[in-house]
Amino acid sequence: MALLDAYLKPLTADQVTFLLRRATFGPTAGQVREFTGQTASDILKKMLADQPAPNPPLDSATGKSFHDQPFDVVNAGKFTGYIKNWWANLMLNQPVSLLEKMTLFWSNHFVVTDVAVNDYRYVYQYNALLRHHALRNFKAFTIAITQDPAMLRFLNGNQNVAGTANENYARELQELFTIGRNGGYTEDDVRAAAKVLTGWTDTGYRSPASAAIGSTFRANRHDTSDKTFSPAYQNAVVKGRSGANAGIDELNDLLTIILRQAETPRYICRKLYRWFVNSDIPAEVETNFIQPLADLFQKGNFEIKPVLTALFQSQHFYDESLRGAVIKSPVDLVVGTFRFWGLQAPDAVANPTAFYQIGNYIYGRVKEQQQDLLNPPTVFGWTAYHQTGYYQQWINSTTLGLRGSFGDMVTTGALKLNGKPAVDVLAYVKNLSDPSDPARLVDELTGQLLAILPTQPQKDFLTDTILLGSIPRYEWTLEWNDYVRSPNVAAKKQAVQMKLTAFLQYIFRMAEFQVM
């Protein structure tokens, strides 16, 4: 069996849950029911379908957009916060689509930080560019990001002019964005690429007088000489040009040279693999999964959708040994937990206060757990995706307690959003197949919440010790039925709610809940 061969069997509920945890920010119960029994191919057609561009964030005070207005220095911090809260809510409300997870992936690949850019309009346009290209063509994406005003600011492309070339973007274009450190390029290649990229600049930066922002090519600041590359690029030459189209024509030639190298598609496919599948890439996976996936990418003219289709419907992806191989990022943990309970952000126009309260809470939790949206710590992205140990970086002496306290806040009802508890545990449990049976209740909840399913002895422990506190199982049945008959009697409600709360607090602190 080749690792990239398609998995053709209808997916079980466990497999659907696994797929949606990895490819989105977690499933809802309804989505699991809807897709159980369908093939991965059928589900992926829905997940890769084009999505409409979302409505832009609004100023809650005026109800109007602000990304298309002159720069407002007084409200700049507030508007940056709105953009992050808005994106958090797009993740929360996402349909069954790869778009939001891929937008986050690309924000960790083509890194720009809001702190360095310091213009919220640039930041919004950058996010819009990521989501527009997230599932399209990688070459067109790279051409667009090279000209993006936020990227020009962040990596000093706006300072790159003939005679005093700035090499920052040219270096990261090769080292981080396309061919990677194993590509064999030289310092001379960095200098040659920098010359290719001379002349671009952003426009409208922090302008209080103009709403227009963008980028432009200044032909008079472009290096018009021929640029010769090293043997790593087969001594390729980018012919020097002059005139208004010189910048885009030479950029296109540069990317053609880089993308025809065998290492470039391998580098991108490894990053996708580490993001979605496993940080560990043994020799067998490199040879029998990464390489054929890279071949597909290159032969397919660097279209992104076919690569994701092959990855998520592969035999390898559904290998049971990969269950729990990825530690949840803060976004996966917080957004996925809310999605499990069915929490949705309200309409931003009808109820902007409530909309931003939910988005702000999500953003606050993921930031304190060290995944600040639109602000990775370095140009390499978040450390969990590039440092030794990879996902293990998400859990440390600071974040472990924060992850646990988040679960506690949700399950105990202490978390109130818009004046009421964020989740209703009892309402959810009532929809299980037979909540009066404690063993079946535990079986269903662990199946929905834990990436690695517990053994029968573990389920018995969770049932008898954690849920029931060592009382006989029949007593739970009596208590539950009493509560259902008299749901407004406080004592009867409390009898089952306290047990469920203790059980869920335990579950949310288990290692099996922290992984996916």
What is d(CA 508, CA 504) in angstroms, rounded to the nearest whole number? 6
Strand partners, 200: 217
Beta strand spans in 246-294 (E): none
Q: What is the mean pLDDT of residues 487-491?
A: 95
Classify residue 46 as exposed, middle or buried by CB count within 10 Å of its CB (0-12, 13-18, 19+). middle
Token pair 């964020």: residue: 422
Q: What is the pTM of this model?
A: 0.97
Residue 389 confidence (pLDDT) above 80: no
In a domain, 158, yes or no: yes
Partners of 515 in the beta sheet?
A: 327
204-220 per-position pLDDT tens digit:
999 999 999 999 999 99
Number of Cβ within a 10 Å radius of residue 494:
12
Question: At what angle are helices 99-109 and 120-133 packed, to 10 degrees?
Answer: 120
d(C-alpha 128, C-alpha 150), whole Å: 12
* Phi then psi dihedrals of residue 416, to 5 deg: -120, 125
Q: What is the 3-state secondary structure (H, E, C) of 148-162?
A: CHHHHHHCCHHHCEC
Which residues form the domain of 492?
427-514
Mean pLDDT of 147-176: 98
Task: Extract the tokens encoding 77.
Answer: 């911090």
Q: pLDDT per residue over 273-290, tens digit each?
A: 999 999 999 999 999 999
Inside any domain, residue 16: no
pLDDT, tens digit, for every residue of 37-95? 999 999 999 999 999 999 999 999 999 999 999 999 999 999 999 999 999 999 999 99
Looking at 225, 260, 295, the residue that finishes a domain is: 260
Residue 246: partners with Cβ closer than 8 Å, 6 or more residues away: 199, 217, 219, 222, 224, 240
Cα 132 to Cα 508: distance, rounded to the nearest angstrom: 35
In angstroms, the CA 312 to CA 42 distance is 11
Closest CA to 59 of 113, 120, 119: 120
Dihedral angle of Cα 279, 282, 286, 290, to the nearest 10 degrees: -30
Domain count, the chain: 2
Say what the pLDDT of residue 461 is: 98
- Residue 345 inside a domain? The answer is no
If phi > 0 it is left, if psi is from -120 to 50 it is alpha, else beta; for residue 382 that is: beta
Element (H, E) at 310: helix 304-312
Q: Is 163 exposed, middle or buried (0-12, 13-18, 19+ CB in 10 A)?
A: exposed
- Residue 161: strand pairing partners: 164
Structure tokens at 28: 């809802």
422, 446 contact by CB (below 8 A): no
Place of tokens 């600071």: 398
User: Cα separation of 453 and 441, whole Å?
Assistant: 14
Answer whether residue 326 is part of any domain. Answer: no
d(CA 260, CA 251): 14
Task: Quickly count: other Cβ atoms within 10 Å of residue 181's Cβ.
Answer: 11
Q: Considering the domain boundaries, does residue 43 fall inside one?
A: no
CA distance 223 to 241: 8
94-127 tens-digit pLDDT: 999 999 999 999 999 999 999 999 999 999 999 9
The encoded tokens of residue 335 equal 């957004």
At 388, the pLDDT band (50, 70, 90 cuts) reads low
Report the DSSP beta bridge partners of residue 237: 228
CB-based contacts of 442-447 (< 8 A; 24+ apart in sequence) = 442/467, 442/503, 445/503, 445/504, 445/507, 446/507, 447/13, 447/14, 447/17
In angstroms, the CA 71 to CA 149 distance is 15
In 199-321, beta strands by DSSP E: 200-203, 214-217, 227-228, 237-238
What pLDDT does residue 421 have? Answer: 87
Indicate the residue among 208, 232, 260 that finishes a domain: 260
- Pair of tokens at residue 240: 């020097």
The pLDDT value recorded for residue 255 is: 98
Q: Is the dihedral of CA 278, 284, 286, 290 positive or negative?
A: negative
Alpha helices in 48-119 (DSSP H): 76-92, 99-109, 114-117
The answer to whether residue 204 is domain-embedded is yes
Mean pLDDT of 339-351: 94
In a domain, 79, yes or no: no
Average pLDDT of the chain to the nearest whole number: 96
Domain end: 260, 278, 301, which one? Answer: 260
Instruction: Spell out where 218-367 has E strands.
Output: 227-228, 237-238
Task: Give me the mean pLDDT over the 171-178 stretch.
Answer: 98
247 backbone φψ class: left, alpha, beta (φ>0; ψ -120 to 50): alpha
Does residue 314 surpass a pLDDT of 60?
Answer: yes
The number of angstroms, rounded, from the C-alpha of 495 to the middle of its chain's C-alpha atoms is 39
H or E stretch including 427? helix 425-430
Establish if 463 belongs to a structural domain: yes
Examine the pLDDT at 235 and tell me if it is beyond 60. yes
